[in-house]
Amino acid sequence: MLDIQLLRTHLDHIARLLATRGYAFPMAEFGALEAERKNLQTYTQELQARRNAASRQIGNAKSKGEDATGILAEVANLGDELRQAEAQLQDTQAALQHILLQIPNLPHSSVPEGKNESDNKEVRRWGTPREFHFSVKDHVSIGEALGLLDLPTATKLSGARFSLMTGSLARLHRALGQFMLDTHTHQHGYTETYVPYLVNAESLRGTGQLPKFKDDLFEIPRKKTAVVETLSRNEDPHGAPGGPKCEYEDDDLYLIPTSEVPLANVVRDRIVALESLPIKLTAHTPCFRSEAGSYGRDTRGLIRQHQFEKVELVQIVHPQQSYKALEELTGHAETILQKLDLPYRVMALCTADMGFAATKTYDIEVWLPEQNTYREISSCSNCEAFQARRMQARFRNEKGKPELLHTLNGSGLAVGRTLVAILENFQNADGSVSIPCVLQDYMGGLDRLEASQL
């Protein structure tokens, strides 16, 4: 979320920056609400001053034994007016907050301006795509021919955009997640974290998925249920042991679209110590996305699924260190591809192609031979204070004063897409798939996927 003071003082400049992201700032609506807020705040303050003055008059009158009936009636009327004005002010502020929650982050000055992904800028490449002396297949054909990938059964079980893997392919999928976690925790200094797969709306607002992207989420409605706890004798107001205490759970939960949500929200409503920074967390979780609006794109195979797994990297850092941290985090994701010997390129996303919460993003794109192109496998972003302001995530700076943190996130990597890249880049003419050397210990010494492995 942007700082509203920034909008109040530099609105035209902010609107121009947001326009480069394809966002049209609602100038008229914001201006009308701001004018209403100012008037209501002034009116409320005037009513409070009049009520305070009248209260002092009542005190003086009573101390002198004078009749204060008229002033008491005036105070009562002022109280009614004040409550009404405060309610109107609260509604106006809520409307302003709703606008703020819909506004994307501002692009960093180093982000290339552009209208779509064709305006993204290549930063670097690593590795040389392999030359094949046979007709290459896509990952679906390879997996099905091996008898290890069964998309029709997954569709029967759950519908489109789900997968069923068996045998050594399922083991390779598991091995990838383990390898990624081990690399990031042992070599890159992240703390492995187990997180809930269901989160509340406040967590999703904190990282920017709500309210704007509600249609992309899987929501789990809950009936109102009572949670009963047993009170000790001291806690029970009547002194009876074992008294019941009822609390009601009626907030809907959502399946996480990425473990960035629970990981970043670890610091929500907290002020962390300066010496605890940077905080570096990683988690391997399933991710759930409805992919609203993406129908017709990547409908074949494992590229775009409703359920997939990802190893997420989150860094929570001092504001002065966030751009250094972005380069570091991107390098951590690249390391996985280098160890797997998968060719890739790094792209700096243009203003219009970045995610909602990002101020600067690098996409890492892995080479897919059958498509003869690079495809996104990781997105690494600096959100600066955008998420921290929504989450009220702060630290005590060098002067001991609370200051908003900066948050960063990236995939390290998407497990399913990495599996796709291995199947296609390491396929052999006989239909088998060689297993990268760094994964063979995780596979019990197995060095290739073959049709006989069940």
Angstrom distance (rounded) from CA 353 to CA 346: 14
The burial of 9, by beta-carbon neighbours within 10 Å (0-12 exposed, 13-18 middle, 19 or more buried), is given as exposed
Q: Which residue would you say has higher pLDDT here, 312 or 58?
A: 312
Domain boundary among 74, 102, 130: 102
- pLDDT(349) > 50: yes
- Over pLDDT 70: what percentage of the chain? 88
Q: Are residues 169 and 290 both part of a single domain?
A: yes
Q: Are residues 97 and 123 both part of a single domain?
A: no
**Does the annotation flag 312 for ligand binding?**
yes
Predicted local confidence at residue 296, as pLDDT = 64
Evaluate whether residue 166 is within a structural domain. Answer: yes
Evaluate whether residue 333 is within a structural domain. Answer: yes
Convert the pLDDT of each residue in 224-276 to its tens digit.
665 555 545 455 444 444 555 545 455 899 999 999 999 999 999 999 999 99
Convert the pLDDT of each residue in 72-110 to its tens digit.
677 677 788 889 999 999 999 999 999 999 999 999 999
HSE-CB at 24 with a 13 A cutoff on CA atoms is 3
- pLDDT(209) > 50: yes
**Does the annotation flag 260 for ligand binding?**
yes
Predicted local confidence at residue 268, as pLDDT = 98
**Eight-state DSSP code of residue 152:** H
Q: Report yes or no: 358 and 381 within 8 Å, Cβ to Cβ.
A: yes
Q: How many CB atoms lie within 10 A of CB 406?
A: 28
Mean pLDDT, all residues of the chain: 92
Predicted local confidence at residue 297, as pLDDT = 66
**Does the annotation flag 409 for ligand binding?**
yes
Evaluate whether residue 127 is within a structural domain. Answer: yes
**Eight-state DSSP code of residue 339:** H
Predicted local confidence at residue 67, as pLDDT = 65
Here the CATH number for the domain that contains residue 354 is 3.30.930.10
Predicted local confidence at residue 245, as pLDDT = 54
**Residue 95 tokens, joined:** 């409307």
pTM score over 0.85: yes
Q: Are residues 90 and 121 both part of a single domain?
A: no
**Does the annotation flag 411 for ligand binding?**
yes
Q: Are residues 203 and 279 both part of a single domain?
A: yes
Evaluate whether residue 5 is within a structural domain. Answer: no
Q: Which letter, b or e, does each residue of 236-252 get, where b requires 16 or more Cβ atoms within 10 Å of its Cβ?
A: eeeeeeeeeeeeeeeee
30, 140, 210, 307 from 200: Cα distances, Å: 29, 36, 11, 19
Q: Report yes or no: 255 and 291 within 8 Å, Cβ to Cβ.
A: no
Domain ranges, residue 172 = 117-221+251-449
15, 437, 444 from 441: Cα distances, Å: 54, 8, 5
- pLDDT(394) > 70: yes
Convert the pLDDT of each residue in 132-177 to its tens digit.
999 999 999 999 999 999 999 999 999 999 999 999 999 999 999 9
**Eight-state DSSP code of residue 289:** -
Domain boundary among 73, 102, 131: 102
Report residue 54: phi and psi, to 5°: -65, -40
Angstrom distance (rounded) from CA 11 to CA 149: 53
Sorted by sequence, the CB contacts under 8 Å of residue 391 that are 6+ apart come out as: 206, 207, 264, 265, 267, 268, 269
Q: Are residues 124 and 86 both part of a single domain?
A: no
**Does the annotation flag 376 for ligand binding?**
yes
Mapping DSSP to helix (H, G, I), strand (E, B) and coil, where does residue 351 land?
helix
Closest by CA position to 309, among listed 184, 415, 216: 415
Closest by CA position to 10, among listed 356, 351, 18: 18
- pLDDT(433) > 80: yes
Predicted local confidence at residue 49, as pLDDT = 85
- pLDDT(68) > 70: no
Tally of domains within the chain: 2
Q: Are residues 282 and 361 both part of a single domain?
A: yes
Report the relative pairing of strands 244-249 and 360-368 from DSSP bridges: unpaired
Angstrom distance (rounded) from CA 142 to CA 262: 35
Q: Are residues 338 and 427 both part of a single domain?
A: yes
**Does the annotation flag 291 for ligand binding?**
yes
Predicted local confidence at residue 238, as pLDDT = 47
List the beta strands (DSSP E) in 209-293.
219-220, 225-230, 244-249, 253-255, 271-272, 279-288
Predicted local confidence at residue 228, as pLDDT = 54
**Does the annotation flag 379 for ligand binding?**
yes
Residues 113, 376, 425, 451: what is their CA dihedral angle, to the nearest 10 degrees? Answer: -160
Convert the pLDDT of each residue in 17-63 to its tens digit.
999 999 999 999 999 999 999 999 999 998 888 877 867 776 776 66
Q: Are residues 48 and 121 both part of a single domain?
A: no
Q: How many CB atoms lie within 10 A of CB 400?
A: 7
**Residue 409 tokens, joined:** 């996130």
Evaluate whether residue 278 is within a structural domain. Answer: yes
Q: Are residues 97 and 122 both part of a single domain?
A: no
Predicted local confidence at residue 56, as pLDDT = 72
Q: Are residues 131 and 204 both part of a single domain?
A: yes
Here the CATH number for the domain that contains residue 93 is 1.10.287.40
Q: Report yes or no: 409 and 386 within 8 Å, Cβ to Cβ.
A: no
Evaluate whether residue 3 is within a structural domain. Answer: no
**Does the annotation flag 378 for ligand binding?**
yes
Mapping DSSP to helix (H, G, I), strand (E, B) and coil, where does residue 413 land?
strand
Closest by CA position to 184, among listed 343, 333, 310: 333
Predicted local confidence at residue 233, as pLDDT = 46
Predicted local confidence at residue 264, as pLDDT = 98
Predicted local confidence at residue 237, as pLDDT = 45
- pLDDT(120) > 90: yes
**Residue 13 tokens, joined:** 């400049």
Q: Are residues 273 and 386 both part of a single domain?
A: yes
- pLDDT(412) > 80: yes
Evaluate whether residue 108 is within a structural domain. Answer: no
187, 368, 431 from 343: Cα distances, Å: 21, 9, 21
**Residue 107 tokens, joined:** 């692009």
Q: Are residues 436 and 304 both part of a single domain?
A: yes
**Does the annotation flag 74 for ligand binding?**
no
Q: How many CB atoms lie within 10 A of CB 87?
A: 11
Sorted by sequence, the CB contacts under 8 Å of residue 55 that are 6+ apart come out as: 75
Domain boundary among 102, 135, 152: 102
Closest by CA position to 143, among listed 340, 372, 375, 416: 416
Evaluate whether residue 168 is within a structural domain. Answer: yes
